[in-house]
Amino acid sequence: MDLHYLKLFHIVATNLSFSKTATQLHISQPAISMQIKKLEDDLGMPLFDRLGRHIYLNDHGKLLYEYTNKIFHLIEEAENKMQEMEDNIWGSLFIGCSNASAIFIMPEIISQYKSLYSRVSINLQLGNTYEIHNLMKLNQIDFAIIGGAVAEHPNIRYHKVWEDRVVLVASPENSLANSNAPNRDQLLEQNIITHDYQSKLYEFAELIYKDLSLHFQPSMLIGSVETIKYLVEANHGIAILPYIAVKQELKDGRLKEIKLKDKCWKYDYHMIYHKSKETVPSMIKLIHLVEKYFEENKERLTYNE
């Protein structure tokens, strides 16, 4: 049965008048009569008794009217619930973060989101860029912010939200701290501390050393950005990290950036999410909030040349 015909029948049955229904719906009375006749033909039975200029529901019509009452009551209830969901966002979001974004970006975003939409449950998964991207491909998370580029998947949307850079940092006590554009030999003397070998940061460090024509042999592989910073501060080696991860330490003088002549390596952050979930109200609000966050905080987050 066509829902349109059922709706028309329901209105006619409520009014018990073709003319009143025609006025209410702003369509002609013959058009209404034709559509009711079509419904009766499809069902194989009449729904109204016609006595002169008046119509009455027969037994078939009364039975159908009972069901259309239920049908359109449920439709109205569903519409109200959907509107309530839109007005009062609720549900669960499974969010992934690569290491740098998890520590230095996502806490602020989640805090803002929860203050606006307290009924949404947040489940946060941390990992390196490849791990987080793989979790999304497996549909184990809904949304993520990752550092660095990855091979795009057809079911996932990718939006660049911010451009950072990676920087070479050392302890103020390191011999490179006061060196102006250290040479190849000076860099080779240093122990390089990097993230674990399956991470985007490891890949970046390896590419940078290749760009500098240096043999890449890390002295330590550490799965935590915070631990890497601690070891560098303690002068156990140098590291290549996103600027956002070391901005405060550089400002406080706990770390020193080792600048290399004519070298600047960009490090992009992407917001990624499932195409199939981009119309979910809680997801829509999160996407908009993330876009707004990076737009409003560009100056604060952006590295200094």
Last residue of a domain, one of 71, 87, 103: 87
Strand residue runs (E) in the chain: 48-51, 54-57, 91-98, 120-127, 143-147, 156-170, 192-195, 220-222, 238-242, 256-257, 265-274
**How confident is the model over 9-23, as pLDDT tens digits?**
999 999 999 999 999
- Cα distances (Å, whole numbers) of residue 115 to 87, 118, 120, 143, 175: 15, 6, 10, 19, 47
Q: What pLDDT does residue 239 have?
A: 96
Q: Is the pLDDT of residue 61 over 90?
A: yes
> Percent of the chain at pLDDT above 90?
60
Do 196 and 283 share a domain, yes or no? no
Q: What pLDDT does residue 29 have?
A: 92
Q: How far apart are CA 268 and CA 157, in angstroms?
A: 15
Q: Is the pLDDT of residue 303 over 60?
A: no
- Rounded to an integer, the average pLDDT of 263-281 is 89
Last residue of a domain, one of 52, 69, 87: 87
Q: Is the pLDDT of residue 249 over 90?
A: yes
Q: What pLDDT does residue 84 have?
A: 61
How many domains are there within the chain?
3
Q: Say which residues have a Cβ less than 8 Å from residue 2's Cβ, sequence separation at least 6.
A: 39, 42
Last residue of a domain, one of 62, 87, 112: 87
Do 147 and 293 share a domain, yes or no? yes
Going by pLDDT thresholds of 50, 70 and 90, the confidence category of residue 114 is: very high
- Is the C-alpha dihedral spanning 110, 251, 128, 224 positive or negative? negative
Do 47 and 108 share a domain, yes or no? no
Do 53 and 133 share a domain, yes or no? no
Q: What pLDDT does residue 250 have?
A: 93
Going by pLDDT thresholds of 50, 70 and 90, the confidence category of residue 66 is: very high
Q: How far apart are CA 85 and CA 87, in angstroms?
A: 6
Residue appearing with tokens 């947040």: 122
**How confident is the model over 219-246, as pLDDT tens digits?**
999 988 899 999 999 999 999 999 988 9
Do 244 and 100 share a domain, yes or no? no
Residue appearing with tokens 């985007």: 200
3-state secondary structure at position 134: helix
**How confident is the model over 137-155, as pLDDT tens digits?**
999 999 999 988 888 999 9
Closest among 170, 167, 166 to 237, alpha carbons compared: 170
Do 246 and 272 share a domain, yes or no? no
For residues 264 and 129, the model is more confident at: 129
Do 197 and 238 share a domain, yes or no? yes
266 in Cβ contact with 242 (< 8 Å): no
Do 156 and 280 share a domain, yes or no? yes
Q: How far apart are CA 79 and CA 23, in angstroms?
A: 26
Q: Is the pLDDT of residue 48 over 60?
A: yes
Do 172 and 247 share a domain, yes or no? yes
- Rounded to an integer, the average pLDDT of 114-119 is 88
Domain span including residue 157: 91-162+268-301
Judged by phi (left if over 0) then psi (alpha if -120 to 50, else beta), residue 255 lies in beta
Q: Is the pLDDT of residue 87 over 60?
A: yes
Specify the CATH number for the domain of residue 66. 1.10.10.10
DSSP class of residue 192?
Answer: E
Backbone angles phi, psi at 153, to 5 degrees: -105, 140
The tokens of 253 are what?
């003088």
Do 174 and 135 share a domain, yes or no? no
Going by pLDDT thresholds of 50, 70 and 90, the confidence category of residue 261 is: confident
The tokens of 83 are what?
């509107």
Question: What pTM, to 2 d.p., does this model score?
Answer: 0.65
Specify the CATH number for the domain of residue 241. 3.40.190.10
Going by pLDDT thresholds of 50, 70 and 90, the confidence category of residue 164 is: confident
Do 152 and 295 share a domain, yes or no? yes
Q: Give the 3-state secondary structure percentages of the chain, helix then strand then coil, rounded to 5.
A: 50, 20, 30
The tokens of 25 are what?
């719906």
Do 261 and 273 share a domain, yes or no? no
